[in-house]
Amino acid sequence: MQIIKTIAELRKTLKPFAKEDKVIGLVPTMGALHAGHGALIKASVKDCDVTVVSVFLNPIQFGRNEDLDKYPKRLEADAKLAKSLGADFVFAPSVDEMYPDGDPLTLVRDESLEKLYCGAYRPGHFRGVLTVVSKLFLISGANKAYFGEKDYQQVFLIEKMVKPRPPSRPASGALSASGTLS
């Protein structure tokens, strides 16, 4: 099992698997892995040819008065657990690697839902989650992703984000398809 810390290295490492049409599974986490994460890793290992566990503490999904600095950081222990469960790679980028210009230049959001649920009292939380998950999908090229049911609100938004929508022809006559990540 290999720990990868850069986007370029992860893409380079996964490219041969994608060329061989191997199924790549992604288990996005913020680290501090526990039994729930373990079940997701096991499911990915069972279903996929390659399993990538991301360990990234995403600052843009935390609000000003939230405890980002107190969140546990245990990369060695997380990597050891991921390896014991059969993961092939741990992707552990720095904040600078994920957001090289500081704040992300592009944000993913769902305006219709971001003021509902915990989004109502955690402004920007869902935008931060959707942005980082979108980036992780694009970086890894994963075919499948595994999310815990504990974070139902986030899973609901992510499913909505990736749900294919039929092409539509706006009044301008241009053909567009929205809502797809691939």
Active site residues: 37
Q: Tell me how far apart the alpha carbons of residues 138 and 141 are, in angstroms, rounded to a whole number.
A: 5
Identity of the amino acid at 136: L
Radius of gyration of the chain (CA): 17
Provide the pairing of β-strand 24-29 with 144-145.
parallel
Sheet strands (E) in the chain: 2-4, 24-29, 50-55, 89-91, 144-145
